Amino acid sequence: MMKLRPFIFHPTTVLCVSLLAILCFCFATIILSNGRKSFYSLYYVAPIGVPFIAFIFDRAERWREFTFVMLMVEVIAVGLSMARAKVAIPFLSGHALFLTYAILTYKNLTAHITAMLVMIEVLYLKLFVWHDLEVFGGILFGVIAGIIFRLQRRL
C-alpha cells in the first residue's frame, strides 16, 4: 500500500477521479432527466462534487493528524453543509459553508484551486442570479469552523 500512496494522493489522480465521478453524475442526471430540476443539478450541484471528492482524498491522506476537536469541527461543518441540501437552515448556504471551510483547511493544491473556482460560480449564482444573501452566512460559518480547525492543528 505504501508504494501506491504517492500515486493515489497525487494531485493529478485526485483531479482525474473527481472529474470522472462528476462526469458519471452528469451522465446519470441526463439519462434520468426529469426536466428543469435536472438542469439545476448539472450547473449547481455537479460542480461542487469536484472539490468535495478532492476534500475526501485530502482527509483520507491526513486523517491521522487530526485531533478530537478537529474531527468534531469537521463533522459539524461538513454535516451542516450536507444537511442543507435536504433541510432548510435559515441564513446558511451549504455550498458556501463547505467551500469556505474546505479552502481554509485543505493542504492539496488541486483541491484549493477547484474549490476556489466553484466558489466563484456559487457567489455569482447566489448574489447576481438568485439574489440569495444566505451565501454570507455560509461564508461566516465556514470561516469560523476553518479558524477553529487551523488553531487546533497548531496546538
pLDDT tens, residue by residue, 26-67: 999 888 877 777 788 889 999 999 999 999 999 999 999 999
Q: How many domains does the chain have?
A: 1
- For the chain, first and last CA: distance in Å? 30
For 107-152, how does the pLDDT look when each residue is reduced to its tens digit (9 = 90+)?
Answer: 888 889 999 999 999 999 999 999 999 999 999 999 999 999 999 9
pLDDT at site 1: 55
**Buried-state track 100-117, b at ≥16 Cβ within 10 A, e below 16:** bbbbbbbebebbbbbbee
Domain interval for residue 10: 5-154
Single pTM value for the model: 0.93
